[in-house]
């Protein structure tokens, strides 16, 4: 049985858990370092990236997550989670924590405030012909990608979904719809990592 952890400090982590459970995946809420044991992948949900960073530091999760990510552990970040994974934050606050695992430059709140939130259909080849209904809430964008980063989706010429090796990152909230194709996509990443390593996890 695959077991995927969801960082449960802020944001729509319950919706991510619901999506995973609907797909038959065992889940775990991650708040402490011990919660990283015996999981096969982790989702970092939306919320407020500066707050998430402070909480990761406070609970001694930052260095452990960086180490796991560098070892190839599957990670999936949505909205603020994408910012947390980014190597560089274009408009980040001084000293803002990020995991720096994804070779992109992200821009926080690129689409404005909460009132500017919106939904749109995205064409995403990796998910098939059916458009994906994307929910953008105070959404970031990716302003620059480095080598080996695959662009999965754009909206109005702005990069909003990418994949690099073991990392999947979206500027929007797939957990707020009943379309679980991105969660299925991540589950397949997890299965591939487990197969490569011949065991459930590296912890």
Report the alpha-carbon distance of residue 160 to residue 169 in Å, rounded.
8
DSSP string for 70-109 = HTT--EEEETHHHHHHEEEETTPPTT------EEEEEETT
- Kindly give, in sequence order, each residue whose CB lies less than 8 Å from that of residue 95, ignoring residues fewer than 6 positions away: none
Candidates 16, 107, 173, 183; catalytic one: 173
Residue in 79, 107, 164, 183 annotated catalytic = 79
DSSP code string of 144-173: EE-TTPEEEEEETTEEEEEEETTEEEESS-
Which of the residues 15, 16, 164, 175 is marked catalytic? 175
Is 173 an annotated catalytic residue? yes
Alpha-carbon span 144 to 135, nearest angstrom: 22
Q: E strand or H helix at 48, and its extent?
A: none
Residue 175 annotated in active site: yes
What b/e string do you get for 135-169 counting C-beta neighbours within 10 Å, with b at 16 or more? Answer: bbbbbbbbbebeeebeebbebeebbbbbbbbbbbb
Active-site positions read 79, 173, 175
């Amino acid at each position: 049985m695959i077991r995927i952890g969801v960082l449960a400090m802020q944001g729509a982590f319950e919706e991510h858990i619901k999506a995973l459970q609907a797909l038959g995946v065992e889940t775990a809420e991650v708040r402490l370092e011990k919660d990283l044991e015996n999981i096969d992948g982790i989702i970092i949900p939306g919320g407020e990236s500066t707050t998430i960073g402070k909480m990761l530091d406070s609970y001694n999760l930052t260095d452990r997550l960086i180490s796991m990510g560098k070892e190839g552990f599957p990670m999936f970040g949505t909205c603020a989670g994408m910012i947390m994974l980014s190597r560089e934050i274009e408009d980040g606050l001084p000293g803002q924590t990020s995991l720096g695992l994804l070779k992109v430059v992200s821009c926080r709140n690129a689409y404005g405030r909460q009132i500017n939130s919106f939904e749109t259909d995205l064409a995403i080849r990796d998910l098939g012909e059916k458009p994906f209904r994307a929910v953008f809430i105070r959404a970031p964008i990716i302003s620059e990608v480095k080598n080996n980063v695959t662009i999965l989706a754009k909206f109005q010429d702005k990069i909003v979904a990418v994949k690099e090796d073991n990392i999947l990152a979206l500027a929007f909230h797939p957990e707020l719809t009943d379309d679980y194709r991105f969660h299925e996509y991540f589950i397949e990443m997890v299965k591939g990592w487990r197969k490569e390593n011949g065991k459930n996890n590296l912890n």
